[in-house]
Structure 1
Amino acid sequence: MIRLKTSCLLFCLGLVACSESTTPAVHKEQNKAQVTLSNVHQDIKVLASDEFAGRGPLTEGETLTINYLAKQYQDIGLVGAVNGDFLQQVEMAQLTPDQNMKLSIGELSFNAGSDFTARTQQIQTSIEIDNSDVVFVGYGINAPEYQWNDFKDIDVKGKTLIVLVNDPGFATQDDTLFTGNAMTYYGRWTYKYEEAARQGAAAVLIVHETAPAAYPWSVVESSNTGSKYTLIDNNKNASQIPIMGWVDVEAAEAIFNQAGLDYHQLKQRALMPDFTAVNLNSKANLTLNNQITMAKSNNVIAKLTGSESPNEYVVISAHWDHFGTNETDTGPKIFNGAVDNASGTAATLEIARIMAKMHQIKPFKRSIIFANFTAEETGLIGSEQFANGDVIPTKQMVALLNIDGMNVLDGVDYILQYGKGLSEMEDYLAKAASAQGRTVKMDPRPQNGLFFRSDHFSLAKQGVPSLLFMSLGDTDPDYITHKYHKEADDYSADWSLGGVEQDIELLIDIAVQLANNGDWPKWKAESDFKTRRLQDRPSHN
């Protein structure tokens, strides 16, 4: 078992319990235990306090957070899922690219930050791109299920690729092309780097445009010029693309003009399935120098052991981390992340309390895992480590329910669904929502691809059917503009937590069904997720 720090325990004592919500109970008979909102208030208050300093990985805030969570799970009566311990160590590298670099393409020279960004996940102090051929490969997509391959008839080994952001469906708003306005994984920048690596490319530069990216260039610059974390494999991440980059659209236009080509015309051509890559008749040169620091963070993993099928697991998760504290000339700026994601972390604790009581009355047939992941905000790193199967093989995971920000205000008559037609978990969601008298409402911003941007996605890539529970800007229009990933995401004792209450009840409904019914939910759509699940469980599809 881990040792719990005295400072954490003292901090957690003596907190004043807040009043219970007066929100009418919805479908409580399914739970056989009521949500105690004073517990949720207290957990959010602790986790989002200034003492926890924004819960930054590798800081004292991490130590306080993981100790607090482990102590709560221990008090509930759960056991550590990591050989009896609650902590799963996550070894990662902190990579900080030197911004005193220049990108040259032909006769053009570009400045880091303002014109382009470049970083790597390879564990190398220096990576050089030397006279690499520059090729435009459209959207950089190879998707057999959509009869689409931007890499046909070209060998891109050692070359520098320029690719478009998002996917052709968004650009055309044609529902018959990919999934129209709703982003597929093929539109995510992560996929484009992964596919380019599989193709043997030396570098990828994604052309940034605000609408298809869903954020301005300032977000690209701030997210890619500082330190980033990555997991480390046995080969120092040599299978990753050497250079992961972005280029501003004006810089891209200049690169195409230099080759006597029109960027916007070629962008239109790239919308056709018969598009073939275009050589830009230029050479790329770049030297990327890295500062590398090895570090270790922790996931917190707790377990209720099933009575009949203890090696089959329903997983309930939320990331514990946020952005920590930034030191400025005017003093420290603490990013407390009360909604994102102290609320989701507090919900996993309350669900554990309720389900532990239910388990005492009538044990669940399957085991329940409660997982709080590290480093979600820096690239889903903790969940990726968990998805490697070191604690539990993915073939033994029935499904994942992931919480990333809750409705801390009053209850609503709907539940948001992220992704459409992906898996049978959507049927479980619809049934549980109907039992509460709620409807399923589709993600109002499908073009942002939120299904591919939270911890459940690490498990989905390994074939585990997953649901995302996220409520950020849909009930509080001010949240995204003024609080999301900002200092203002603070705890309030005035929150009713009516939305938290109803979503906890809904999550428990789904989890209890899966814990007892023997079902193995399936992927509906043909996808890499379904293919991966077939590898693990060929007899269940």
Structure 2
Amino acid sequence: MNLTFRLFLGLGLCLSAQAFAAPLTFDENAFREDVKTLASDPFGGRAPLSEGEQKTLDYLTQAFKSMGLKGAFNGEYLQPVPMAKITADQSMVLKVGELSFTPGEDFTARTQRVVPRVELSGSDMVFVGYGINAPEYGWNDYAGVEVRGKTVVLLVNDPGFATQDPRVFKGNAMTYYGRWTYKYEEAARQGAEAVFIVHEDAPAAYGWGVVKNSNTNTKFTLVDDNNNQSQVGVMGWLQYAAAKQILAASGQDIEALKAAAMAPGFKAVPLTVKADLTLNNHIERAESHNVAAILPGNKNADEAVVMHAHWDHLGQIEEEGKTIILNGAVDNATGVAGVLALARHYAALPEDKKPGRSIIFSAFTAEETGLIGAQYFAENPPLPTAKLVAFLNIDGMNVGEGVDYILRYGEGVSELEAMLQDAAKAQGRQVKPDPRPQNGLMFRSDHFALAKEGVPGLLFMSLGDTDPDYIAHKYHKGADDYSPDWPLGGVKQDLVLMEHILSRLANGNDWPKWLEASDFKKRRAKDGR
């Protein structure tokens, strides 16, 4: 039985059972044209606040208009996202005692404070293990140490990954405490002035090249009423070799400190060396934009399911005197093309087949720089978050052949997992757990910003499971380009699966619940869900 026939047979069985609308017909030419255009050199890598952003906004707006869909923001397609564009001068030098380190090669440093300069001058340094304060796990790396105004050095990921002990945090599966975003947030709460995270490939889940490309060019941030002064002054990373030198200069062995940091009750270690760094910033204030269209429901229009993919990528970088465009074809032009494919499907349905609930088709800005567009949307949604049923998020599609499985990110998190299981079963596929739970993908894409507001989500991501070469040589690199040789069998089957779940949510009365105790569950409960 060929793949296409199996997919539509499985879908047909499911549709008849659920009384869904007509099956999705995949328009391969339209999908290819969307990806090819969005990932083309003229779009410049789709960096926020660039010419590439305007090209992207125009393309998506016109696409939604051509489908007859209305703008989701009171009739407008664009939601302004006020941001600061901060570019750190890469001529900086990090000095620690008698040691000097080169930006990009040994360390990275940036800030989200909207100030022209951040300066470390004779800054006291402290090694704080994993930099975690987690009462529910009985863990506090900051206990008994004062880091206010100081520079902290800490490890990436969490002790569960380090020990591989399922009784420690969540074992191999990263918790939010392992994410670099949390490390900076907690250090700010502790009053630290600067943070340097020690990079290692395995616990970080990516090589130094990703850190370098993501942190040595222009970054973006939302701006609070105090120009983000409550955040740490320096957000940095250290190559393992550089961190080893710094700790050795204080008479400390990095491997011995790593071993000690794995155990509960670890005590932070003040270092004898001091840090000096001048971070000069070029700052521009501007508005980026989220894009969203809405298909109004014909029964419960005030309730909505969100189908989403982030539109941005990393723009351009300079390497060895050459300009390299990071086109982000798989990550995430394919995701945006997938959203457009689903939007075309639903927009083309006759009125009596339109779903009962509304569907919002969205593409946010600045995911790659910290879920900024998603955070702004979550705090300023077109409908109250209590009215958002679920958030389905595509962050990279399988452009290869179809496979007999779908990946599940997280386990025992929400009832959406059961819906994923049902949709996969209808296609004769199995649900497989995330093969790299240590990477913390649950916390690295736009659905997480909505989860913080209580909206459950599903992540659909295929970046390395079907192409082992992708993470090593294409992810966040110049090689992530469109190819006319992509088979797209995986795209077809996954869009059919997503349509199954989307239709079930949009045509039913389900309010998927959070399963495990979490801040997300508590937040949803406040909305009466």
**TM-score (normalised: structure 1):** 0.89
Determine the structure 2 residue equivalent to 1:428: 419
Deviations 1:402-440 (CA, angstroms, capped at 9, x unpaired): 001111232211101112222222122112111221100
Separation in 1 of the partners of 2:478 and 2:142? 44
Specify whether residues 260 and 372 from structure 1 end up closer, same or farther in structure 2 by C-alpha distance, changes over 3 A only.
same
Does structure 1 conserve the Cα–Cα contact (< 8 Å) formed by 2:8 and 2:23? no
Q: Which residue does the alignment assign to 1:27?
A: 10
Q: Distance in 2 between matches of 1:190 and 1:517?
A: 36
Pair 1:495–1:107, CA change in 2 (3 A): closer
SS at 2:309 equivalent: strand
Measured at CA, do residues 272 and 357 of structure 1 come closer, stay the same or move farther in structure 2, by a change above 3 Å? same
Deviation of 1:129 after TM superposition, in Å, equals: 2.7
Aligned partners of 2:317 and 2:210: how far apart in 1? 17
Aligned AA for 2:67? I
Deviation at 1:291, TM superposition (A): 1.1
Partner residue in 2 for 1:193 = 184
SS at match of 1:94: strand
Partners of 1:374 and 1:287 in 2: CA distance: 30
What is the CA-CA distance between 1:329 and the residue it aligns to? 8.9
Aligned counterparts, 1:44-123, within 5 A: 44-123=35-114
Task: Report if the CA contact (8 A) 2:213-2:317 is conserved.
Answer: no
Q: Hey, what does 1:299 align to over in structure 2?
A: 290
* Residue 401 (structure 2) aligned to one of 410, 413, 425: 410
Where 2:505 maps in the other structure, the secondary structure is: helix
Residue 531 of structure 1 corresponds to 522
1:468 aligns with 2:451: no
AA at the equivalent of 2:252? L
RMSD between superposed Cα atoms in Å: 2.6
Instruction: Please give the per-residue CA displacement for 1:196-216, whole angstroms capped at 9, x wherever unaligned.
Output: 111221111112223222333
Amino acid at match of 1:34: L
The range that moved more, 443-452 or 23-32, is 23-32
What residue in structure 1 maps to residue 448 of structure 2? 457
**Contact 1:35 1:350 (8 Å CA) reproduced:** no
Contact kept? 1:54, 1:323, Cα under 8 Å: yes
Aligned to 2:205: 214
Look up the match of 1:8: none
Deviates further, 213-222 or 171-180: 213-222
C-alpha deviations, 1:272-321, integer Å up to 9, x for none?
11112222244433322211122322211101122343232211101122
Deviation at 1:390, TM superposition (A): 4.5
Give SS of 1:45's match.
helix
**Aligned partner of 1:502: which letter?**
Q
Please report how far the alpha carbon of residue 400 of structure 1 lies from its aligned counterpart in structure 2 after TM superposition: 0.6
- Structure-2 residue corresponding to 1:6: none
Given that 1:23 and 1:411 are in contact with CA atoms closer than 8 Å, whether structure 2 keeps it comes out as no
SS of 1:25's equivalent in the other structure is helix
Contact map agreement 1:21 1:496 (CA 8 A) in 2: no
Question: Aligned pair count?
Answer: 519
Q: Shift in Å at residue 395 of structure 1?
A: 2.9
Does residue 36 of the first structure (1) align with residue 43 of the second (2)? no
* Preserved contact between residue 92 and residue 230 of structure 1 (Cα < 8 Å): yes
Asked if the contact 1:23–1:498 (Cα under 8 Å) also holds between the matched residues in 2, the reply is no
Contact kept, 8 Å, 2:307 with 2:392, in 1: the verdict is: yes
Q: Distance in 2 between matches of 1:64 and 1:109?
A: 42
Percent identity between matched residues is 58
Whether contact under 8 Å (1:463, 1:533) holds in the other structure is yes
Q: Does 1:348 align with 2:348?
A: no
Partners of 1:248 and 1:49 lie apart in 2 by 33
1:251 and 2:234 are equivalent in the alignment: no
> Secondary structure of the residue that 1:374 maps to in structure 2?
coil
Can you list the C-alpha shifts for 1:296-350, whole angstroms capped at 9, x where unaligned?
Answer: 2221110112234323221110112233455789986444333222221111111
Structure-2 separation of matches of 1:200 and 1:494: 52
Cα distance in 2 for partners of 1:171, 1:384 equals 30
User: Residue 383 of structure 1 aligns to which amino acid in structure 2?
Assistant: A
Q: Deviations over 1:455-481 (max 9, x none)?
A: 222222332211110112222334334
The range that moved more, 41-50 or 202-211, is 41-50
When residues 46 and 171 of structure 1 are mapped into structure 2, their CA distance, relative to the original with a 3 A threshold, is same
Give the Cα–Cα distance (whole angstroms) in 2 for the partners of residues 154 and 332 of structure 1: 45
Moved more, 350-359 or 224-233: 350-359
Secondary structure at the aligned position of 1:27 is classed as: helix
* Aligned counterpart, 1:16: none
What is the CA-CA distance between 1:80 and the residue it aligns to?
0.2
Q: Which residue in 1 is equivalent to 2:136?
A: 145
Partner Cα distance (2:239, 2:323) in 1: 32
Normalising by structure 2, we get a TM-score of 0.90
Write the distance in 2 (CA, Å) between the matches of 1:291 and 1:55. Answer: 20
**Distance across 2 between alignment mates of 1:111 and 1:341:** 31
What is the DSSP-based 3-state SS (H/G/I as helix, E as strand, rest coil) of the residue aligned with 1:319? coil
CA distance in 2, matches of 1:69, 1:299: 10
Does the CA-based 8 Å contact 1:231-1:381 persist in structure 2? yes
Distance in structure 2 (CA, Å) of the matches to 1:396 and 1:181: 35
Question: Could you say if the C-alpha distance between residues 338 and 98 of structure 1 is closer, same or farther in structure 2, counting changes exceeding 3 Å?
Answer: closer
| CA distance 1:194–1:71, shift in 2 (3 Å) | same
**Where does structure 1 lack aligned partners over 5 or more consecutive residues?**
1-19
Q: CA deviation at 1:115?
A: 3.0
When residues 276 and 91 of structure 1 are mapped into structure 2, their CA distance, relative to the original with a 3 A threshold, is same
Contact 1:98 1:291 in 2 (8 A): yes
Kept in 1, the 8 Å contact 2:447–2:458? The answer is yes
Deviation for aligned residue 1:493: 3.8
Give the SS at the match of 2:8.
coil
Q: CA 1:57–1:391 in structure 2 vs 1: closer, same or farther (change >3 Å)?
A: same
Q: 1:310: which partner in 2?
A: 301
Name the counterpart of 1:375: 366
Aligned to 1:9: none
Query: Quick check: 2:214–2:314 contact (8 Å CA) kept in 1?
Result: no
Per-residue CA deviation, residues 55-99 of structure 1 (Å, 9 max, x unaligned), is 333333322222221122122221101121101112221211123
In structure 1, give the amino acid aligned to 2:8. A
Distance 1:28 1:41, change over 3 A: farther
The alpha-carbon deviation at position 508 of structure 1 amounts to 1.5
How far the C-alpha of 1:366 sits from its partner, in A, is: 2.1
Q: Distance in 2 between matches of 1:49 and 1:99?
A: 28
The answer as to 2:378 corresponding to 1:395 is no
**Does residue 1:504 correspond to 2:495, yes or no?**
yes
Shift of 1:399: 1.1
Q: Structure 2: which 5+ residue stretches go unaligned?
A: 16-20
Secondary structure at 1:250 match in 2: helix
Aligned to 2:18: none
1:141 shift after superposition: 0.8
Residue 509 of structure 2: aligned partner: 518
After superposition, the Cα gap between the structure-2 partners of 1:258 and 1:328, relative to the gap in structure 1 and judged at 3 Å, is: closer
For residue 134 of structure 1, the aligned residue among 125, 140, 144 is 125
